[in-house]
Structure 1
Amino acid sequence: MLSTHAHYILLVVASLAAGAINAAAAGGSFLSFPAMLGMGIPPVQANATNTVAIWPGQLTSILKLRNDLRRELVFAAIVASIVGGVGGALLLLRLPQRFFLYVLPWMILSATLLFLFSARISRWLNKETQHPHIEKRVRPLTIFPLLLPICLYIGYFGAGGGLMVMALLALLGMDDMHQLNGMKVLVACISNLSAVITFIAERAVVWHYCFIAMVAAALGGYIGAHYARKLPQSTMRTLVIAVGFAVSGYFFYRNLHPAH
């Protein structure tokens, strides 16, 4: 068994890494959420506390990645994020605690596979093989209803939600990894802010652990966003896919071995 001090150190390190991973790719909650569970917090409260803690890291990431946003998509993305974030948070607080842990790995695995094959699927659907250099214009009215269920999921749990955003936008024809990353961070940031407000209003946050993780995640988010702009697009894509498979694999294992 880990000592109390070791648990705190693990929480700080996991939160720092989560903020950095969320900025550079997606799936940082894969690290920070288990660390919250390790502090002895029940799953729903651990998720609510983790969501509040990692949110500042997403805000600091947005400040670094704001020039990568697709301006014509920002308003539709924000509206979908607000509606979905609040709705997902309320679902989390109303449904049984074990439910979201059961469905989580299937959703993340599906998103990872979708992102892995998104370029091929996009070319096939849009017949872009004859014009591979032309990026299809993504319409705001198209992304709103498609983003809404993903934002609902982000408010509900969130781990891998950014990966789903990137997979969706890539499937619609957006192929610039820096733009995908910027839009992913925006949607995750606003969705989680909406969920944060809901969790606070419902008194579901364990503040003692939250403040510790919050500072670490904010620092990690700023550092991760800084280096995300320096990474080659192929490296970012590989990192996103690797994190997605790791996230889904971990929670499949956890569901099969609940004592671990």
Structure 2
Amino acid sequence: MDLSTAALLAASGLAAGLVNAIAGGGTFFTFSALVAAGLPPVVANATSAVAVTPANLSSAWAYRRELLANLRRFTALGLVSLSGGLIGAYILTVTDNASFRQLVPWLLLFATGLFAASPRIVGLARSVARHEGHAPSRQAWAAGLTFQFLVSIYGGFFGAGMGIVMLAALAITEGDDFHLINSAKHLCSTLIQLIAVVVFIQAGLVSWRETFIVGAASVVGGYLGVVYGRRLPAPVIRWLVIAIGAALTVWFFVR
């Protein structure tokens, strides 16, 4: 590996850690960089998932106060995230590179578009699931868990953009408190990736040299992202992620 490739991978890891900690979508950077470094798409996706897992743990630790305060509330979300992540990871292991390459831009487009529509999703979730001052109804809670299960399958299959989709899913069960949703997102995404990592390693899909470079940089970015993310208004974060997702979606369509 030459120095420029190593620098590209390190920069992508730092950027992924920062953006994942703030709102999600950071694995757009690592997946793109790993493909550019010459890894096959399926291996790049699995390697990216393994590499950013330490950053997710770092970010989850930075959100430990919110997680501990809501641990019982997040139990069901954690269980469906684990089961969905396992299914999604298995699907990736039986998908060939040519088919996966064709799916990538459409998956990115879906994730970015859904996140762009998240304010409307939050409004719809509120009108259906909540009466002012009350918790979501059982029907809304079940719908939110079902949505999270589907997001978890997507996350286990394709890590890039998982956080973007998950923020929209969590809006149904957790309302519009951004930092509460973000702490739940870190817990769920970490569980999804941990189970997926086990599957990917057993399937021999991980390129370890690239994993260590991206992973080390993403840990630094993950913690810094939480620190600075607390200081940024939610609309700024949302539009930043939309811009990043749109740019990388176009790039994968035209490459």
- Structure 2 vs 1, CA of residues 151 and 127 (structure 1 numbering), >3 Å: closer, same or farther? closer
For residue 41 of structure 1, give the secondary structure of its aligned residue in structure 2: coil
Alpha-carbon displacement from aligned partner over 1:66-112 (angstroms, at most 9, x marks no partner): 33344444111211221122211111110121323323333333333
Q: Is the 1:122–1:173 contact (alpha carbons within 8 Å) kept by the matching residues of 2?
A: no
Say what the alpha-carbon RMSD is for the aligned residues: 2.5
TM-score (norm 1): 0.85
- Structure 2 vs 1, CA of residues 174 and 253 (structure 1 numbering), >3 Å: closer, same or farther? farther
- Structure 2 vs 1, CA of residues 125 and 183 (structure 1 numbering), >3 Å: closer, same or farther? closer
Identity %: 37
**How much has 1:62 moved relative to structure 2?**
0.2
For residue 204 of structure 1, give the secondary structure of its aligned residue in structure 2: coil
Alpha-carbon displacement from aligned partner over 1:176-204 (angstroms, at most 9, x marks no partner): 11122222222211101111111111222
Equivalent residue for 1:258? Answer: none
Superposition map of 1:1-260 within 5 A: 4-69=2-67, 70-124=70-124, 126-127=126-127, 137=136, 141-171=142-172, 174-254=175-255
**How much has 1:173 moved relative to structure 2?**
6.3
Alpha-carbon displacement from aligned partner over 1:34-91 (angstroms, at most 9, x marks no partner): 2112222222112111111111000000001133344444111211221122211111
Q: 2:217, 2:122 → 1: CA distance?
A: 38
Report the residue type matching 1:55 in the other structure: T
Structure 1, unmatched stretches of 5+, are 255-260
Structure 2, unmatched stretches of 5+, are none
Q: 1:95, 1:229 → 2: CA distance?
A: 38
Q: 2:153, 2:124 → 1: CA distance?
A: 28
Report the residue type matching 2:186 in the other structure: V
Q: 1:186, 1:62 → 2: CA distance?
A: 6
TM-score (norm 2): 0.87
